[in-house]
Amino acid sequence: MKNTAIEKQSALGKERLDPNHYTLALIEEGHRLGLINQTAMDCIQTQLMSLLADLIIRYTKGESTSVKVETAQSLLLSILYSIDVCISSFPNPEDAIALLKAENLKEIYKKGLALVTSCVAYTRNLYQDIMDKKLDIPIQAYHSTLDEALPDFFNNYDEVFHAQDTMASMDYPLLFDDMHVQGIFYIKQYLESLAIETQFCSLFPKEDVAKLLANYGHVYRIDTREALINVFEVLLTNSLFSILASNKAIELDISKLQYELLRDKFKDLDPGLCSSLIREATEALLRDLGVDQAELRDYIRNFKNVLMPRFINALKHDCLENVIILDSNEHSPLDVMFDEGNTMDDESFRAVVDQIIDCAKAADKTAIINSTIHSLGDFIDILEADCLFGDEFQYLFDSLGDMELSILARIVFIEELRIDSAFSLQSVGEEMMEMQWQREYIQFLQNISPDRLKSIDNYIHSSFQTMDSSDFLDF
């Protein structure tokens, strides 16, 4: 019997339980392992339904005891979110089970809701602190996330009725971002990571940061103002290699000669030695920049796990220049020019989307887009606005020129281009993409002629320059 109990406890590992449905997963596993009997299960379920009934009355302001099924399900998830917060704070799941069996579920819910409310207050203060230290960087996603998405979240978040909802379209990517977390605790961990990244980025002069980002855009042939890039990663990467090039960590410029010396230095080393050099450079960076905060030090040290696979792949394909960003004076002359164009205000954009949705034919939708959308940012937003479906994407893509298609390719295949400078659309297969428009774009590429595919490839590997005098996408 003693050994059996030990086996049951070891089987109930916290890491095996779904963090977004922790209470339900815990009860189910506890019942399966014999730690929660049927009587206790029924008691917990009865208390949970009683909590739901009380919340429905509160939700309807006492006017009704019933709501739509979807609303009831959402309210139940909100209750469970707060309960999850309370019982998941126990390191051992057995202690959480003991609490569920011993204490009234309503009291557990109240404690959890108090923790959620406290987290909201903490996160608001954290957001304000980040705003006070906001970076002056030319990245639209960064500013829209801080100026629009996060205020919208705080204005609309309801810890009582919709605690599990995240309700925020934060476009700015972080180096480390756990997107499996929900509700206010996702925003909390997002802002905690953003605060760490902000602290590091603020160590560098803003003029040097802007110059490096411009060089980054030149290498990847993208407009960094509209690209979803993580500034912390770009700065940290070049700072590390600047140290390896015998510069100071604060110096972000790396010359062509320094790059060639670095390439020669690394090309004959095995991955283990490369990793050791990166680790040594990381410790030198921490000393050079005077980083003494534990969270930032750990964050920077963890970057090696992100950098090394990309670095080793770049060495393998002899395209280290996609990892180490050279000084702009080292680049070759530009041979193709494009213009970003002016983005639309929200009201005008919404009107165009509504107009597209009202159209029944792909040709009409394409005509509206071609005549009203004149910037890359607006064009991507249209692709993500749920106003195009199925073959309508194909019709729109077919109306674009090869240069415009190459610009979309740089967005879809940015990681492949970073790893392999010789990347070709000829090798594109069935790629796993998050966005529907990206999947439709890949399908489009697979069905066009080899000659056109080659033409798009040629544009991808040519250079582009951003101008401000006229429209960018003039279809």
Q: Which residues does 301 contact at the CB level (< 8 Å), separation at least 6? A: 282
- This prediction has a pTM of 0.71
Whole-number pLDDT of residue 2: 46
pLDDT of 438 strictly over 60: yes
The owner of tokens 């959890």 is 112
Residue 86: phi, psi to the nearest 5?
-70, -55
Whole-number pLDDT of residue 363: 85
The Cα–Cα gap between 384 and 225 comes to 18
| Confidence band, pLDDT 50/70/90 cuts, at residue 317 | confident
| Confidence band, pLDDT 50/70/90 cuts, at residue 431 | low
The Cα–Cα gap between 241 and 235 comes to 10
pLDDT of 466 strictly over 60: no
| Confidence band, pLDDT 50/70/90 cuts, at residue 342 | low
| Confidence band, pLDDT 50/70/90 cuts, at residue 337 | very low
The Cα–Cα gap between 325 and 29 comes to 51
305, 303, 302, 299: which is closest to 195 by C-alpha?
Answer: 299
pLDDT of 75 strictly over 80: yes
pLDDT of 287 strictly over 60: yes
The Cα–Cα gap between 145 and 297 comes to 25
What mean pLDDT, rounded, does the chain reach?
86
Q: What is the mean pLDDT of the segment spanning 373-379?
A: 83
pLDDT of 309 strictly over 70: yes
Return the SS3 of 397.
helix
Whole-number pLDDT of residue 329: 60
Q: What is the mean pLDDT of the segment spanning 266-283?
A: 92
pLDDT of 400 strictly over 90: no
Whole-number pLDDT of residue 472: 41
Q: Which of 156-160, 420-424, 466-470 has the lowest mean pLDDT?
A: 466-470
Whole-number pLDDT of residue 465: 45
Domain boundaries, the chain: 2-113, 133-200, 204-330, 336-467
Helices 294-316 and 231-244, axial angle in degrees (round to 10)? 70
464 forms beta bridges with 336
| Confidence band, pLDDT 50/70/90 cuts, at residue 233 | very high
Q: What is the dihedral of CA 279, 284, 287, 293, to 10 degrees?
A: -20
Cβ count near 358 (within 10 Å): 11
Which whole-number Å values give the CA distances from 11 to 30, 101, 129, in the listed order?
10, 19, 42
Q: What is the mean pLDDT of the segment spanning 49-65?
A: 91
Cβ count near 14 (within 10 Å): 15
Look at phi and psi of residue 460 and say left if phi exceeds 0, alpha if psi is from -120 to 50, else beta: alpha
